[in-house]
Amino acid sequence: MNLYQQRALEGASGVELTVALYDGIIRFMREAAASVDQDDVSARRRAVKRAMHILIHLQATLRMDIGGQLAETLAEFYAATFALMLQASTECSKEKFEKAVTHVWVVREAWRKVAADPYLAEKTAAEMRRLEQSAAVKPCHTSIPDHPRDLPSAWTA
């Protein structure tokens, strides 16, 4: 990571950091797909390993006690994406890598919309503060919906 990227991430919110992690998964999956075309096994494995590490991190930081159904949905999404990446790697399937990219992109876009909308970001932050006060827990990315359809109707009205 260059200095510019490092400085950009230092001031990022939790949602923006989550979007950056999704960007990393997408970048590494694209690298893996390209390595299939180049018949570069070592580059494919390296790219898949990096993407899987990001998924594992996202999975490990889920807070089921805060996120409830949304966290469970994300956990299932991460597990399915992990399995798809593993399958793509073992089968040397560019198509499956691209399918993983497509799925991750959809969820990434939902996170990006939340990050870009000050109203949603404020609602999310307010909800997080309320949950922290009631449960005395640390904030994490799981209190934010993974897809716009999961937003409470009051947020999207």
pLDDT in tens, 67-88: 788 889 999 999 999 999 999 9
66 or 78, greater pLDDT: 78
Domains of the chain: 14-151 (1.20.120.340)
C-alpha R_g of the chain: 17
- 143 closest CA partner among 127, 156, 155: 127
Each residue's pLDDT tens digit, 122-143: 666 556 556 556 654 444 444 4
pLDDT over threshold 60, residue 154: no
The mean predicted confidence, pLDDT, of the chain is 80
Give every CB contact of residue 127 below 8 A, 6+ residues apart in sequence. Answer: 143
> What is the C-alpha separation between 92 and 33, in angstroms, rounded?
8
Residue 21 has pLDDT above 90, yes or no: yes
Q: Which of 76, 72, 51, 54 is nearest to 63 (CA)?
A: 72
Q: Which pLDDT value is given to residue 89?
A: 94
Name the pLDDT band for 115 (thresholds 50, 70, 90): confident
* Residue-level pLDDT at 133: 62
CA distance 26 to 15: 17
H/E segment holding residue 17: helix 14-37
pTM of the entire predicted model: 0.72
- The 8 Å CB, 24+ separation contacts for 72-81 are 73/146, 73/150, 74/142, 74/146, 77/103, 77/107, 77/146, 81/25, 81/55
Distance CA 100, CA 117 (A): 26
